[in-house]
Amino acid sequence: ASAVNLRFMTVCGVPLARSSAALALYLLAEAVGRLALLSALLVAFPGALRLGTLLPGTAAGPLLLGLGAVLVAAVGVLAGVRRVRTAVGSFLRTALGEARSVHARPSRALALWGGALAFPALQAAGLAAVGRAMGLSVPPAHMALAYLAATCAVALVPTPGGVGSVEAALVVALVAAGGPAAVATAVVLAYRIITVWVPLVPGALTLGALVRLKVI
């Protein structure tokens, strides 16, 4: 998806540096919006999700160790490779410039942050709607909380489209929210079919048409 967005913006005449900065700004805003919604729901419903069942205590050590290793490796590369350091510095300057430009106009800032909040909110509402339709015995707000917690957790797992990791995390989160495992699994499969697998066909057709029309 990011590659398609970059290609579209460059075809429209936006320089690659600005296109990359704009995409990075959007991804950052979307992550902040998702975490903000998760935090708000955790405050509103503190007992809705038993986090111990979602993330066992024994997993905290290896997870922190892995994150620390990644950070150390990244710092080592930046410090040791001048070309990488120069490229990263240039990218950060461009990204900060784009951020200032966006927030200098209230309408653009509202579009950025409104979309960053609306996108995960609508996704969570979709899961809650499927859960209600299939009779999952979990309140809709708790299902939304489970969705946000699961998607934030699997953001560290680089699988294409979240296939596999999202399904597993959603099932675990819904069970942690109090739903039966069998019904939670059915809800997650139905939700992912509706939101991921069925749209693949029109998405592929649209992508092919855009390529033929040289839009991307």
How does pLDDT run across 55-112, given as a tens digit for each residue? Answer: 555 555 665 676 677 667 666 665 666 666 676 677 677 778 878 888 899 998 999 9
Q: What's the pLDDT at 132?
A: 95
Q: Which residues contact 202 (CB under 8 A, 6 or more apart)?
A: none
Cα 161 → chain centroid: 10
Least trusted range by pLDDT, from 4-18, 103-117, 151-165: 151-165
Q: How many CA atoms are closer than 13 Å to the CA of 112, on its beta-carbon side?
A: 22
**Predicted TM-score of the model (pTM):** 0.78
DSSP annotation string for 157-207: S--GGGTTHHHHHHHHHHHHTT--HHHHHHHHHHHHIIIIITTHHHHHHHH
Q: What's the pLDDT at 67?
A: 62
Per-residue pLDDT, averaged over 39-54, amounts to 79
More confident residue, 1 or 80: 1
pLDDT score of 117 more than 80: yes
Q: Which residues contact 183 (CB under 8 A, 6 or more apart)?
A: 134, 135, 136, 137
Least trusted range by pLDDT, from 17-21, 181-185, 195-199, 204-208: 17-21
Per-residue pLDDT, averaged over 179-200, amounts to 92
Q: What is the mean pLDDT of the chain?
A: 83
Q: What's the pLDDT at 115?
A: 92
Confidence of residue 37 (pLDDT cuts 50, 70, 90): very high
Q: What's the pLDDT at 159?
A: 63
Q: Which residues contact 3 (CB under 8 A, 6 or more apart)?
A: none
CB 192 within 8 A of CB 157: no
